[in-house]
Structure 1
Amino acid sequence: MAHLAEALEPGLADSLVAAIEKGQWVPVGGWWVESDLNVPSGESLVRQGLYGQRYFERRFGRRSQVAWTPDCFGYPWTIPQILKDAGLDYFVTQKIRWNDSTEFPHNAFYWEGRDGTRVLTYNPYGYEHNLDPSRLAAERLEDWERTGSNHQLVLYGVGDHGGGPTIEMLRRAEDLRRVPTFPAMVYDRPLEALQAVRSSEPPPGYPVWQDELYLEYHRGTYTTQARTKWRNRRSEAMLQTAEALATVASSPYPRDQLEHAWRLVLFNQFHDILPGSGIREVYEDAEVFFDSAWAIIDSVTLASFRDLRSRMDTRGSRQPIVVFNPLGWSRGGSFSLPAAGDSIRLSASDVPVVAARHDVQG
C-alpha cells in the first residue's frame, strides 16, 4: 500500500511517513504484500520478507518485528523459520478462528516450525471488535482460562474493507476505561502489546503448536483461477533461471530489473489474488503484471545467454547446443529441439552418442 501510494500519490505517501514519525500510524507486517502462503514457493515467501523489510527500512527508517497476516487462508508449517529469518519475532493472525469444523484451541502460543524455530503467535478474537462490554468480558475470561496471561490483544475497528474504529467505538472504550471494576484497557502499538503478552507468560509457559495452521473454511484455494496459479509458478521458475544466468554472465548484474520483476510477481501473490477470491478485473490486472514481469525476465535471460554463448569454445561441433541447469544441484530431465531433417545424432562429453529419428507425427 505504501509503495503504491509513493508511486501514485506522493503527497499521501509523505503524509503517511509524517504520521509514522509522530506515532500516529504504526507500520507492521514487514512483507511486500499480505501474501497467500499456501501456493507460493518458499523462495517467494523469503522475497516477500526481503523486499518488504528493505522497503520498511528505506521508507520508514525501521524494520517490522511483527508479522501481521490476519486474513490469509491458512499457514504452512515452514512459516516460523521464514518469519524469523526476516527479523519477525511475533506473528498475528485471527483467520484460524474461521474454522467451520475444528475450533483452534490456543490464543497465545509458540508456533514451532519443522526446524525447531519458534515464533510467539497471537490469535485474537477477530479483527473487527466493536468493544461491546459483554463480549469483552466473556473473551477476557476465556483468554485467562486458556493462557493464564493477564494481557490480551484486542483488534477493534470496522476491520475488513471498513477501516479503523468509529467514533462510537472510541467513546465506548473511554467509558469502559473509567469503570474501576472492568479489566484495564490500554491503547497500545502491536509490538508493545505483544511484548506485554510475552512478559506475562505464566510459569508453565504458553503451549507449543507443531503443525501447519490449516484453515477449515475457504475451499478451492489450490484450484480456483488456475491460469493465475500457473503463471505464478512459471514466473517463480523463470526468475530463478534468470537470476542464475545473470550471476554467471560477465555483464553487470541487472539487480534493479530483476527486483522489479520480483515485485510484480509478489504483488500478484496477494491473498485475494493468487488464491482465486478476486473479481474479474483483478485477474485482468494480474495478467498485465505477469506480462510485464515476463518481458523483463525474457530480456535478462536472453542477454545472459548471449553473453555465455560468446565465451564458450564450441569448436569442432557442427551445430553446438547449450543446455543450462539453473539449479544449485545436478538434475536429470528432458529438453526439446526443433526438428532438423528426418534424423539427428547428439553427442556430449561423458555422454554416449544418441541417435533419434523424426517421424511424420513429430
Structure 2
Amino acid sequence: MSDLRVHLVPSFHYDVEYLLAEGPYLEICFQNLLEAHRLLSTYPQYTFRVEQTYLLERFLQEYPSLSDDLRRFARQGRLEVASGMYTMADLNMPSGESIVRQLVVGKRLCGRLLGVEPFVLDAGDCTGHPAQMPQIARICGYRYYTFQRAVDNVGRKCEIIWRGIDGTEVPTYWLAVIGYAGWYDVGRDDVRVLEELLGRLNEHCLSPEGILSHGGDFKYPYERGIEVLSRWNEERETKIIYSTYGRALEAIDFSGAPVEECEWNPDRQGCYSSRIRVKQGNRECEGLLFCAEAVSALARWLLRVPPDEDGLLRAWKLTFINQFHDIIWGTVCDEAYRHALERIGRVRMICEGIIEDRLRLPAGDGEERRVVAFNPLPWPRRCWLEVPVGMPSPEDEVVGPSGSPCPAVLSGDKLSWRAELPPCGYSSFILRRVGKPETRGDGSFKVKFVETDSGYAPEVTTPLYHVEFSPGGTIASLRDLRSGKEFVDPERPAFNVLCLQSDRGDLWQYYEGPLHDGGPQGFAQDLIYDPYPSGPSFTSNGKRIYLDVIDNRDGPQAEFGVEEESEWRLVLRISGSLVRRFPSFREFWNEGIRVDWSQRVVFYRDDPTVEFRLETHHVAGRWYRLRAAFFTDIR
C-alpha cells in the first residue's frame, strides 16, 4: 500500500427528488455548497466536485455574488463538475438523443457558469451502463468515464478500457470502494477508517494512483478531514491528496487496463416498470420535443419563422429533470411523483403550443376547414389520421394535397382517413361536407361468432388475414392469407395476452422482496431471469405459492363488439376482467385482486398493420404487476 497515492475527491451525492421533494433537498444542498465555498476560500489545497449542472445552476441563481469565486476555483482546477450532465440521468430508459442532449446542455452550461467544461462523465449512481456510452461520451467531448453500480465482478480492478459497440474506447474507472461515498464522517476514528478503505482500494488498483470519494448522500463538507490528512501525510508513506476526478484520471496509468467489450447491466430491474406513467411520460416528452424541433426547423426554412429556442430549452430541461435516475425509476415519494407528472404536463403544453403555432401558418385562414399533418421522421409514412368533426353537420369528405379525395371513414363524431405524409414534411387536407351517409362496410371484412366448450369468440376474415380469437379475448391464430404464414406460436397459441403476477418486491426490486442494499455485492449486476411464467411457483417444500400467475388465455369470458366497420378498416372492442379471489378463511389477510381491461384491435383492408391499444383499470387488490405478451413463432 506504500506505493499508492490516493486522490481524495470531496463531494456529496445530490438527488433532485427522492425521499423528499425538490425544495427541501435544495436547501440542504445550498448549505453544503456554501460550506464548500468557505473551505475552498480558506484552504488552498482543498478541492470539491459538484455532481450535476442543474444544482450549480440553481445555486448561482440564489447566490450570484459567489459566481466569480467559483469561476476562479474552477480555473485553478480545484472545483469541477462531473458528470456534467444536466442531471445524473438513468442511462437505460431515456433515448440516446436525450442522453446526448443531457451532456451537451450540461457541458455548455458549465462553460457559461464556470468558464471551463467537464471532461469526466461520472455515472456513479446509475443502475446500468449501455454499450453505446463510450461512443456517446467521446462524441460529446468527454475523455473519461466513471461508474459504481452494475459491475460484473466485484473483485475486478478499477482501471478499464471500455470499448463500445462501434469500437470507440474510453478510459473507465470503477469506483470500487463505497462508490461515490468513500470516506465521510461516520462517528468513528478517522485514521482507522482511512486505513481500512485504503487497504481495500489497494486490492483493486493496477496503477499507483487511486481514487477515493469523500462524501455521500447530501453529506456536509468535512472540515476536520483537512487536519486528519495533514497528520496522515506526515506520518505515513502512502500519500492522500485532495483532488478532482479529472486531475486523478489524468494521473492514472491505463496502459495495463484490460479492454472490455460489454455493457454493465442491470441493477435493480424492478425500477424499469415502477410508476409506469413517468416512463410513458418521458417517451411522450421525447417525441413531442423531436416533433417540435423538426416543425420549427421546417417553419424557419419555408416561412422564415424563428424557432422558440428558449421554450424548447425549457422543455428539454424539464424532461432532463424527470430523467434523473430516482425520478424516472419511480423510486420517489408521492409528492415527487406528482411533481414529475406536472413537468410532463408542462412539456406537453410548451411543445404542443410550438407545433400548433407553426402548423397553423401553412393551414391558412380560409373558410374551408383545413388539417395539416406533420411527419417528423426522415422517411415517408402511410397512416390513418383521426379528428373530431363539426356538429351538427359533420364533414364527411377529405381532399388530399393532390386535390383527390382520400379514403375516409365517418364514425360517430370522428372522421378518419388514410394519409400519405412526406419525410420530415407536412401534408394539408381539406374537410368538406358532401352529405354522405355514415360509412358502412362493403363486405371486405367478415365477422362471425363461434361457440366453443369454454365460451364464444369471433373469427375475423380480412383481405389480408384470417384471425381467430379465444373466449378470453386473446388471438389464437393470425394467418396471412397470401402466404399461409401463421404468426401465432402453435405451442402457445395466444397474441395480446394480459398476465397478472404477484409481486412482493418494492419500487427497486422484482418479486423477491424489498431491497437490502448492503455488502460488497450491493453494486453488482442483478440480472433476474424473468421469462413469461407458465404457472404458479411454489416454495421448496411445494406447499406454498410464492409467485401466483393468472392470464386471460383460458378466460374468463370476454365481451366482444364491432366498434367500426367500413370498406377500409375494422375495429373490434374487447373487454374483460382479471380476478383472483382468496376464499379460504386462512388467507383472510390477502385481499382479492381485480383488474378490468379494455382493448381496441384494428385491421386494415390493404395495410398489414394490426393495431392494439390496451387500457387497464385497477379495481381492487395489491402486490401485483401486469405484463402483455405476444407468443409468435417468428424465429
Q: TM-score, normalised by structure 1?
A: 0.84
Counterpart code for 1:129: G
The answer for the alignment partner of 1:33 in structure 2 is 87
Report if the CA contact (8 A) 2:122-2:145 is conserved.
yes
Using the alignment, how far apart are the partners of 2:220 and 2:163 within structure 1? 32
The answer for the alignment partner of 1:110 in structure 2 is 161
Offset at residue 38 of structure 1 (A)? 1.2
Alignment of 1:84-103 (within 5 A): 84-96=138-150, 103=154
Using the alignment, how far apart are the partners of 1:254 and 1:13 within structure 2? 28
The answer for the alignment partner of 1:153 in structure 2 is 211
Alignment of 1:281-320 (within 5 A): 281-310=335-364, 320=370
The answer for the alignment partner of 2:254 in structure 1 is 201
- Superposed CA offset, 1:83-138 (max 9, x none): 111111101112235x7xx5363411011111111111101222222352133124
The answer for the alignment partner of 1:232 in structure 2 is 282
Instruction: Return the match for 2:229 from 170, 173, 178.
Output: 173
The answer for the alignment partner of 2:316 in structure 1 is 262
Using the alignment, how far apart are the partners of 2:281 and 2:296 within structure 1? 22
CA distance change for structure 1 residues 320 and 117 in 2, over 3 Å: closer, same or farther? Answer: same
Which consecutive unaligned segments of at least 5 residues does structure 1 have? none
The answer for the alignment partner of 2:388 in structure 1 is 338
What's the RMSD between the two structures over aligned residues? 2.8
Whose strand fraction is larger, Structure 1's or Structure 2's?
Answer: 2
Report if the CA contact (8 A) 1:133-1:176 is conserved.
no
Offset at residue 334 of structure 1 (A)? 3.0
- Superposed CA offset, 1:247-276 (max 9, x none): 111211111111111111111111111111
- Superposed CA offset, 1:152-200 (max 9, x none): 1111x23122244462x444433332344x4333322211210111xx2
Offset at residue 214 of structure 1 (A)? 0.9
The answer for the alignment partner of 2:378 in structure 1 is 328
The answer for the alignment partner of 1:211 in structure 2 is 262
Corresponding residue SS for 2:150: helix
Counterpart code for 1:137: G
Offset at residue 23 of structure 1 (A)? 4.8
Using the alignment, how far apart are the partners of 2:241 and 2:59 within structure 1? 31
Using the alignment, how far apart are the partners of 2:354 and 2:89 within structure 1? 26
Using the alignment, how far apart are the partners of 1:165 and 1:346 within structure 2? 70
Instruction: Return the match for 1:52 from 106, 131, 142.
Output: 106
Corresponding residue SS for 2:326: coil
Offset at residue 40 of structure 1 (A)? 0.7
The answer for the alignment partner of 1:79 in structure 2 is 133
Moved more, 233-242 or 275-284: 275-284
- What is the number of residues matched between the two proteins? 343
Which consecutive unaligned segments of at least 5 residues does structure 2 have? 1-54, 184-192, 413-437, 439-562, 565-635
Q: TM-score, normalised by structure 2?
A: 0.50
Larger Rg belongs to: 2
Using the alignment, how far apart are the partners of 1:104 and 1:329 within structure 2? 48
Offset at residue 52 of structure 1 (A)? 0.5
Alignment of 1:241-256 (within 5 A): 241-249=291-299, 250=303, 251-256=305-310
Report if the CA contact (8 A) 2:67-2:113 is conserved.
no
Report if the CA contact (8 A) 2:120-2:142 is conserved.
yes
Report if the CA contact (8 A) 1:347-1:354 is conserved.
no
- Superposed CA offset, 1:36-56 (max 9, x none): 111111111111011111101
Report if the CA contact (8 A) 1:80-1:117 is conserved.
yes
